Amino acid sequence: MNKNNKGLNVNVLWVTAVALAALIVLQIGKTSANNTLPFEQQALGEMVDSVGDYKIMTTDGANEEILYVLDNRNEQLLLYKIDQQKALTLLAREELDFVFASARSKLGGR
């Protein structure tokens, strides 16, 4: 490789680096205009509602909607699958004290 080719290759690398940096700055600017970080998923408030001692939230599952019910009185988290918008099927029931205790033990008791 002669000096002219080496100089050309270095210049191409510099131009590519500047172009990539500019694209990154533009992408960060676009997401900061929406007050979100580039890789942050935004939670929407209309997905959550409260009724008495219950908080409910829906999310999209693979082929169905998932309903999360937080029962503050019994300290439970219930997950339901909504089948074709006709029936609810209980997927899981978790005691919140057990969930938090197991999370603490996985983190080494922090």
Q: Do 100 and 82 reside in the same domain of the chain?
A: yes
Q: Assess contact for 58 and 51: CB atoms under 8 A.
A: no
Q: How many angstroms separate the Cα of 74 from the Cα of each of 40, 53, 95, 96?
A: 32, 9, 8, 9
Whole-model pTM? 0.53
Phi, psi dihedrals of residue 66, rounded to the nearest 5°: -115, 130
Range of the domain at 57: 45-106
Over residues 8-47, the pLDDT tens digits come to 788 888 888 888 888 888 777 666 555 555 555 555 555 7
Q: pLDDT: is 110 or 75 the higher one?
A: 75
- pLDDT value at position 18? 85
Indicate the range of 34-38, 72-76, 87-91 predicted with least confidence: 34-38
Q: Number of folded domains in the chain?
A: 2
> Under DSSP, is residue 94 helix (H, G, I), strand (E, B) or coil?
strand
- pLDDT value at position 76? 92
Q: Do 18 and 65 reside in the same domain of the chain?
A: no
Q: Do 89 and 73 reside in the same domain of the chain?
A: yes
Q: Do 98 and 59 reside in the same domain of the chain?
A: yes
Over residues 44-65, the pLDDT tens digits come to 555 788 888 999 988 877 778 8
